[in-house]
Amino acid sequence: MDFASTPEDEAFRAELRGWIDEHLPPFLEAHGGGSASDSERPQSPGIVGRFERGRAWQKVLHSGRWAAINWPVEWGGRDATVMQSVIYSEEMARARTPGLFNPNGIWQIGPMIIRWGTDEQKQRWLPSILDAEEHWCQGFSEPEAGSDLANLRTMAVADGDEYVLDGTKIWISTAHLADWGLFLVRTDPLAIAEGRKHEGITALIVPMRTPGITCTPIREITGDAMFCEVRFSGARVPVAYRLGGEGEGWLVAMGTLTSERVGSSGISIGLRYELDGMIAAARTHNPDALADPSIRDRIARLHTQIEYTRLLNARALSKVLKGEKGWPEVSLAKLQWSHLSQSLAELGVDILGPAGVLARGGPDAVDKGHWTHQYPWQRFTSIGAGATEVQKNIIADRAIKLPKR
Confidence of residue 1 (pLDDT cuts 50, 70, 90): low
H/E segment holding residue 277: helix 265-285
d(CA 377, CA 399): 30
Q: Is 260 a catalytic residue?
A: yes
Could you report the per-residue pLDDT of 250-286, keeping only the tens digit for each? 989 876 555 555 555 567 778 988 999 999 999 999 9
Lowest mean pLDDT among 59-63, 122-126, 219-223: 219-223
pLDDT at 347 over 70: yes
**Identity at 63, one-letter amino acid code:** S
Average pLDDT across the chain, whole number: 87
d(CA 108, CA 254): 10
Residue 280, CB half-sphere, CA atoms under 13 Å: how many? 7
Could you report the per-residue pLDDT of 291-309, keeping only the tens digit for each? 999 999 999 999 999 999 8
What is the secondary structure of 281-322 as a DSSP string?
Answer: HHHHH-GGGGG-HHHHHHHHHHHHHHHHHHHHHHHHHHHHHT
At what angle are helices 82-95 and 265-285 packed, to 10 degrees? 10
**Which of the following is catalytic: 229, 260, 307, 324?**
260
SS percent in the chain: helix, strand, coil, step 5: 55, 15, 30
Provide the pLDDT for residue 45: 44
Distance of CA 392 to the CA centre of its chain: 21
Mean pLDDT on 314-338:
79
Task: Give all domains of the chain, ordered by start, each with its CATH number.
Answer: 7-101 (1.10.540), 136-247 (2.40.110.10), 261-399 (1.20.140.10)
d(CA 185, CA 191): 12
Mean pLDDT on 92-110:
90
Residue 105 contacts residue 89 (beta carbons within 8 Å): no
d(CA 93, CA 88): 9
H/E segment holding residue 202: strand 201-207
Residue 250 contacts residue 198 (beta carbons within 8 Å): yes
Counting DSSP H helices and E strands in the chain, the numbers are 12, 8
Provide the pLDDT for residue 260: 52
Cβ-in-10-Å burial (0-12, 13-18, 19+) of 289 comes to buried
Q: What are the backbone angles phi and psi of residue 140, rounded to the nearest 5°?
A: -110, -55
Residue 137 contacts residue 104 (beta carbons within 8 Å): yes
d(CA 367, CA 176): 29
Lowest mean pLDDT among 21-35, 58-72, 196-210, 225-239: 21-35
Provide the pLDDT for residue 203: 97
Mean pLDDT on 10-37:
86
Cβ neighbours of 269 (radius 10 Å): 19
Confidence of residue 215 (pLDDT cuts 50, 70, 90): very high
Cβ-in-10-Å burial (0-12, 13-18, 19+) of 257 comes to middle
What is the secondary structure of 240-257 as a DSSP string?
Answer: GGEESSTT-HHHHHHHHH
Could you report the per-residue pLDDT of 122-168, keeping only the tens digit for each? 999 999 999 999 999 999 989 987 667 888 999 999 999 999 999 99
Distance of CA 190 to the CA centre of its chain: 32
Percent of the chain residues past pLDDT 90, beyond the cut: 56
Q: Is the dihedral of CA 206, 209, 211, 214 positive or negative?
A: positive
**Identity at 25, one-letter amino acid code:** P
* Per-residue burial over 335-365, b = 16 or more CB atoms within 10 Å of its CB, e = otherwise: bbbbbbbbbbbbbbbbbbeebbebebeeeeb
Confidence of residue 42 (pLDDT cuts 50, 70, 90): very low
Provide the pLDDT for residue 37: 44
**Identity at 140, one-letter amino acid code:** F
